[in-house]
Chain A
Amino acid sequence: PTDARNAAQARARSAPAPVTDVARLCVCDLLVAQCDTNCCCDPDCSPEDFSLFTTCSVPVVTGDSHLCSQKAAVYSLDVEANPPERIFKLIDQVNPSIFCIHATNYKQALYLKSPEMPTPENFDELLSKFGSSGFSAEPESWNMDTGVPNPPDANETYRYEYGVPIQTEDAFLRLPSPVVSSWCSDANPAGFLVNQATKCIRSVSVEKCDSIPALNMLFYTNSSILAFVFQVNVSVQSIVVQSLNGMRTLLKGDDVLKLPVILDELCLNVVLGVSYHITYTDTGEITEAAAAFVLGAITKEELSVQQSFQISFTQVNTKPVPLSGNPGYVVGLPVRAGFRPKEYPFPVEFVTDKHSQLTILHSTPSQDCLAAQGARAPVLFGYNMISGCKLRITVGMQCQPVSQTLLDVLKGQSFPEYVASFGNSQAQDVLDWVPITHLHISEQRIPTTLQSSCQIPVSLGIEVNWTKYGSLANPQARIVNVTATLTTTTLRQLPSGRERIIPVTSSVVFTDISAPAEPGYKAWPTINIKLPFDFFYPFV
């Protein structure tokens, strides 16, 4: 009985027997139990199917053509018959060469070798013979089991290189991120100098919210980062508390660790976002690590919460200025702008920080200009944008305050004066900055002779002209001039009881004004022949 079972097992494990009869071989028969089109050898096809074929994709099926005489199955379509029918002939094909194989006593000569079936006995031998780096017997990757602390190896952490996972006391600095699906996976290590921002969803419940470690601030700050010979603790840089309706407030005072607490039907101090800031030296050592938290609250009904994580790296003693391109602007990065401080005689530097960005009004769902809370969107290079709001004019509205409010809404709190012409323009290079030209168009509905009537701005259009600069093969975008056009109109007083709605728009348009490129050609090579000065000696 064991023999029979072994035999059956061996039979089940071996590959199916190869088909060598030319009459039964059909390469184009791909669909099981269905007729393949133009496949004359398909046994699933009926004579009606054959009458619809145009040609035979496989006209001849033969064995090895080296044999002197072999059977060949010839399929053809007889198109003259009505309906067309398939002709199948089994003929003997003769190879006329004198070096044709008359007979062979080596059975595997004309067929492919059947591969050995792996069994528990020969698996190791097959693996060493055929397995390459793709399959290895022992996993050599690091063990991400955070329950087992990995003893730090001082020799390995002496210097970090780009992309190397940042090591901490236990395993690696975790940056939870979505893997495959949107659910958070805690096994994603943060790579050195790899700026990352991830968002993922974590399943939560109010009852167990203080036992889920990933909702706790301690989870992100308790293990210290290994750097050279000492360890760098992750300090808490700031804590922002987000209320249930989305309002965020920065917590002042000592940055005390706030642990999740269950209060009524809410769970407070749940980590909704972590932003790591790592400071490094130019030799690859980490000197400081800080984490800024966003804590929030979850209600009983919420079964999942979205967490966002970010990590950024700064070199010591530098203030990072995000470049929008190097040197030309990259589409999608914000346009850099700034102010020129009023100094006499000549200013040395422009002031450019995040408060002097070129921004455009951001449309709100309420669409009310006067209730706009100052939401602004940065102007990104290459992205034409248009936004707006609606102004409701009622009786008794004074023109002057409305005009001032609308100007604030359109231009923002600090509208910059200069725009950087290149994505990497430094603040010290005064000539690299382009002034913003302001135009004023006033729509006159009623032609009045008095120009002093109050006008309210209804549209701000920023037109950015840019050109391609540099080599033909790698053109860089360079901003040439920026024009901000403000269109104003008169505010007509309405009869009582009526109100009017005026749309107010702001837009940004990027126009490519580059001249067509002219390729430059190399000069023709010149033949430089000079005779030596005493060539005609002794005559000269």
Chain B
Amino acid sequence: MGAKQTRSAQKYQDLTDKTGFSPEQIKNLHKRFQQLSDNEETISRENLEKIPALANNPIRKQIIDAFFDKRNQHQNEVGAFQEIGFEQFLMVMSHFRPPTLKTTEEEREAMRKEKLRFLFNMHDTDNDGTITLEEYRKVVEELLSKSGAIGLEAAKAIADAAMLEVASTNVPHMAPDDFYEGITFEHFEQILKGLEMESRMHIRFLDVDTMTMRCGKSKS
């Protein structure tokens, strides 16, 4: 018992350093991980797809894919996992940590970049470094996927208009024959500057072990 505890404490310490979560948060997330994985070591896409609350989410597939995306592990790898362990799970979750009072300006900038990178990876499915018109259309279509036929028709127009906006913001003077390849990461950062990602893209991670952590998957 004692040995096991020190081992897990050690592991948690590593994870704390790597991801920035506090030990209590890691413990809670680990509990959740074990719930999702049926007490196995890894989870697969099916485990996540079984969460009932996610069923209503229009971008469910993208979210699940993001967990299995190698790019989000910051190891300079590409491709997708088939299954992920707790550490990878935690790495993905760490993108959603909020800034604290002690976060300096540089850290905030880095945090914003990291979060924007996460979003960018979600859109850039073929990993060519740009979000092409097709990919962007797909994004908007997915967003409107729960809205039926109205959504699909307008999705194209919206995506086109959005792309046009990005292009005209970042490369204002294009000759009629120039072609705008796609949204690069810099352009992406530029257009989403106003949203202040570091203050918006976060969720509350519980410090305290409370009973509000309900089991999200069906108990079957």
A and B physically associate: no
